[in-house]
Amino acid sequence: MSTDSRTLERQTPDWVRSRQRRFMVGLHVPDYDQVPEYVEYEKAGFAPILTNMDARAFVHDLKEAHVQVFYFYNKCHMGNSYYPSRHPAAHIHSALKGRDLFGELTEACRSEGIVPAAVYEFSDYRIIRDRPEWCHRVPARPGKAIDITDAAEGSRVGGACLNGPYGEYALTQAIETARDYPIEGYYVDFLGFFGFEDWRCPICGPRFREAFGFDFTGIENLTHAQYVQYLDWRYAEYDVYARRMRDAIHEVRPGVAFVHNMHGYREAPGLQTWKLVEQNCEFATGDLFHLRSGALHLSWALRGYAGASRGLPAEALLDSLVCVGGDYMTPKALDSYRAELWTCRSVNAATCTSILANVDGSWPRDVIALTRKVYEEQQAYEPWLAGMEPVATVGLVRSQNTTQRRPARGNQPQGPNPHAMDFEGWAQVLVASHQLWDVAQDFQLTPEYLRRFRVLVLPNAACLSDAECAAVGSFVRGGGRLIATGETSLFDENGSARADFALGEVMGVRYVDAQDDNRKHLSLDDPELRPSDPWVGASLFFSAGQWGVTMLPGARALGRIFVKPRVSLGNAMVPTELSGLVSHTFGEGTAWYCAGLPGAQYRGYGEDTQRRLMALLLKKAVGEEAPVVVEAPATVEVFAHRQTGRDHLVVNLVNWVTGVSRSAGEAAGRGGPNTLPNRFDEVAEMPPARDVKVLLRPPQGRRVSAVRRAPGGDALALAPAGGAAQVVLDRVGVHAMLVVEYADAGR
C-alpha cells in the first residue's frame, strides 16, 4: 500500500476536517497486582477498581459537553488491556470481570453521534516488569560490555523493542481493535520509547551490526558521521514500523485515521522526525500542554503541527487539568484555558481536551464542566474555523537538523541549544510585536513553500542543505527579505562544517572565525536603529559572544563589535574592525545578518535592548506588506486566515497576560541547582486589552467594505487610513474574532 501524502489525503476521513472539538480520557488504571494495597482501601470504604465506570453515562456527559471525537485506550501505560484481546501476552484488566469496556465505550459513542478513536500505549510498565526479555538493556556505564542474557548483570531494563515480540504484540492488538470495533481513529503514544544513547538488544544489535559493520556501544563511541548515520537508521526503524502498523490497520478497516503523539515538539535525538508524520499520519498531533510548558511554546509548536499536516487541521492535546507537581485532579483556570484553546484553533489545529479517570472508574465532573464551558463558547464560531488557510508575512525557521546534527562533544545534543534559544527569542518578539508569522521546518525550505512569506528569519540555523540554501537564495533574489544570525548555513544538513557560509553571498558576509565570548558588545551605528531617547542604550550585550565575519563588497555595516580588554578595566570596551550587524542587497531583496544571537540573549535574559533591535529589524523587513497591523499590549497575539471558497479574511486576537512567557517547554514546577522552578501563572479572569487598533490592508484592487465581529455579525466603524481601513475594539477579553469583507476597489 502506498504511503505518499496524496494517498493519505484521499483516505482521510471526514471527521479530521469537520470535527474539531475532541476529548481523551487517560485510562491508566492499575490492576490489583500492581496496587495490592488497594484491597485495604476498599476495606476502608473505597469503591473497587473500575466499578464506577459507566460507559454510557460517561459518553453522554461528553455529548452534553459538545465533544465530537472521543479517544480512549485499548491498552494503557500500566500495560492493561480494556478489551478481550486474544494475544497470549495481553493482560486484560482483571477488575473488568469479563466486561468489554472498550467495546462499551465504542458503542456509546456510536449511539451519541461521537466519533470513536482508540489510543494505544507503547510505554508499557507491565511488559518491562513481566517480560524483560522483550526489552532493550541499558548498560549501567556507557560502553561497558554486558551479558544481555543476564537481566541483572550491569544493566537495567529499557523500553520494549519494536523489532521483537513486543512489536508483533502491538501489531496484533492494533489489528484486533480495528477489525472488531467500528473505530475511526488509531492514536499511538510513545512509539519507539526505548534507549537512544546506549542500549543492548539481541534483535536490534545484529541489525545495527549488519548496517554498520560493528557493534553498537553507545553514541559516545561513534564518530560524528557514524552518529548521523545512526540517527537516520533509528528514524528509519520507526518509520518502517509505523507504516507496518498503519497498513495493517487499513487492511482490516480502510480509512481509519492513524496518528502519533509528537509529545510537545520533541526534538530529542532518536525519538521521531516530521517524516514520520508526513509519510504515515493523517495529521500532526501531540500532548502539547501536558506539563504547562509555557504559552510561547504552545504558540510556535502549534504552528509547527499545522505546517506538518499538509493543509489538514492539526491537533493538540491540551489537558484541562493543571498537571503540575503531580496534580491530575484540579481543573485549569477558565481564562487561561480559554486562551490555550483559542491559540490552538487560530492556527488551524483541533483541540483535544483531556482528563484522567479515577481508579474506581469515575470521572471528575468539574473538569468535564470546564470542557463544556469552553466548547460551548467555541461552537458559535465554527463557521469561520472551517477550511482554514493561515496567512503569514514572516516565516521563522525551526531546524531539526541543527538541533540534532550540529557537532557536539560525545555526540551529545547542545544544551541549551543555541538554535532553539535564538528561535524562541525571535518567536517571543514576533508574538509581542503582533506580526503574522508561521513556523517553517527545514524540510519546508523549498521555493514553493517560501512563496507564502515576505520575510524569512533563520535564527542560528547552522545545518542547512545545499538545496535549502539555494531555495533561500532564490527567495531573496526574487524580492524576499532575510534576517539571519550566528552560524546560519555554516554546516550542511548532516553537520559537516563548510569553509564559509553557504548563504554568505546572500547575507553579504564571509566567515572569519568562531563565536568568541570576548566579543560581548555590539554598538549600533545606523541612525535608523540607534535609539532617539537618550536613556535607551545604543549597545547590545551578548553573553556568549559573537562570530567573526568580514563584509562583502556592497554590504553595509549597521553595527560594530567591541571587546573587553584582556586586563580588567571595569566597563571599558575596545572597538574592533569587525561588523556585528550587516545589511546587504541581493537581487531584488535584502538581507540582514547579526553576528550574535539576539533571540537567544532575549530568551535567556529578557533584555529590552535585544527586543527593540529584533522588533525594528522585523518592521523594516515587513515594510508595508502586512495585511493586518495591530496596536495593542504585548499580551495580544494576532492570527489571520482565509477560508477556502470564501472572499474574506478572518482575524483572531488572543489576549493572554502570560502569553509572552519565555518558557521553552520545560515542566512547570521543576528547578535545577540554585535555580527557581519554572512558573506559569494561571488566570481565572483575563485583564482586558482596551482600545485595540486593527489596521487592515486589502489585496491589490480591493477595498475593505465591512469588518464584522463574530459570531454576532455586528459591523464595526471603519476609519479610512490611506488605501487601508482601521477599526478600534474597545475591549478584548480573552479572544476576539473579526471577519473582514472586501469589494472591488472601484465599487
Q: What was the pLDDT predicted at 678?
A: 54
The rounded distance, in Å, linking the Cα atoms of 395 and 580 is 23
Contact predicate 377/338, CB 8 Å: yes
Neighbours of 687 (CB within 10 A): 12
Higher pLDDT pick, 537 / 521: 521
The per-residue pLDDT for range 699-739, each reduced to its tens digit, is 999 999 999 999 999 999 999 998 899 999 999 999 999 99
At 262, list the grid cell. 509528537
Residue 658 has pLDDT above 90, yes or no: no
Q: At what angle do helices 101-112 and 55-64 cross, to 10 degrees?
A: 40
409 contacts: CB under 8 Å, gap ≥ 6: none
pLDDT of residue 152: 40
Q: What is the pLDDT of residue 664?
A: 45
pLDDT greater at residue 144 or residue 269: 269
pLDDT of amino acid 269: 60
Task: Specify the amino acid at residue 361.
Answer: G
Query: How far apart are the C-alpha atoms of 393 and 621, rounded to whole Å?
Result: 10
What pLDDT shows up at residue 253? 97
Domains observed in the chain? 5-386 (3.20.20.80), 394-624 (3.40.50.880), 629-656+688-744 (2.60.40.3670)
Of the candidate ranges 384-388, 479-483, 533-537, the one whose mean pLDDT is the lowest: 533-537
Range among 132-146, 197-211, 292-306, 569-583 rated most confident: 197-211
Output the pLDDT for position 207. Answer: 95
pLDDT higher than 70, residue 150: no
Task: Assess contact for 66 and 375: CB atoms under 8 A.
Answer: yes
Q: What is the torsion angle, in degrees rounded to the nearest 10, for the CA atoms of residue 369, residue 375, residue 379 and residue 384?
A: 160
* Spatial CB neighbours of 540, under 8 Å, sequence gap ≥ 6: 521, 522, 524, 559, 596, 598, 601, 607, 609, 610, 613
Q: Please name the helix (run of DSSP H) or strand (run of DSSP E) that holds residue 135, with its range, or none.
A: strand 135-139
Which pLDDT value is given to residue 221? 92
**Per-residue model confidence (pLDDT) at position 270:** 60
Q: Which residue has the higher pLDDT, 271 or 634?
A: 634
**pLDDT reported for residue 567:** 66
In 3D space, the residue among 496, 497, 490 whose CA is nearest the CA of residue 461 turns out to be: 490
- CA–CA distance, 576 with 259 (Å, rounded to integer): 54
Tell me, what's the pLDDT at 729? 98
Query: Cis (ω within 30 of 0) for the bond into 711?
Result: yes
329 vs 439: which has the higher pLDDT: 439
Give the pLDDT confidence of 437-485 residue by residue, as tens digits.
Answer: 999 999 999 999 999 999 999 999 999 999 999 999 999 999 999 999 9
| Mean pLDDT, the chain, integer | 90
For residue 729, report the phi and psi dihedrals to the nearest 5 degrees. Answer: -100, 120
The residues near 326 (Cβ < 8 Å, ≥ 6 apart) are none
Q: Which DSSP helix (H) or strand (E) runs through 744?
A: strand 735-744
Place of cell 494503557: 76
- Pick 625 or 462 by higher pLDDT: 462
CA–CA dist 631, 738 (Å, integer): 15
* pLDDT tens by residue, 61-89: 999 999 999 999 999 999 999 999 999 99
Residue 91: enclosing H or E segment and its boundaries?
Answer: strand 91-92
C-beta of residue 25 within 8 angstroms of C-beta of residue 72: yes
**What average pLDDT does the segment 536-551 reach?**
94
Closest CA to 257 of 172, 193, 192, 315: 315
Which residues have CB under 8 Å from 571's CB, separation 6+? none
Distance of alpha carbon 643 from alpha carbon 633, whole angstroms:
28
> Any residues with CB less than 8 A from the CB of 128 and at least 6 apart, and which?
135, 157, 159, 160
User: Is the pLDDT score of 111 beyond 50?
Assistant: yes
Residue 3 has pLDDT above 60, yes or no: no
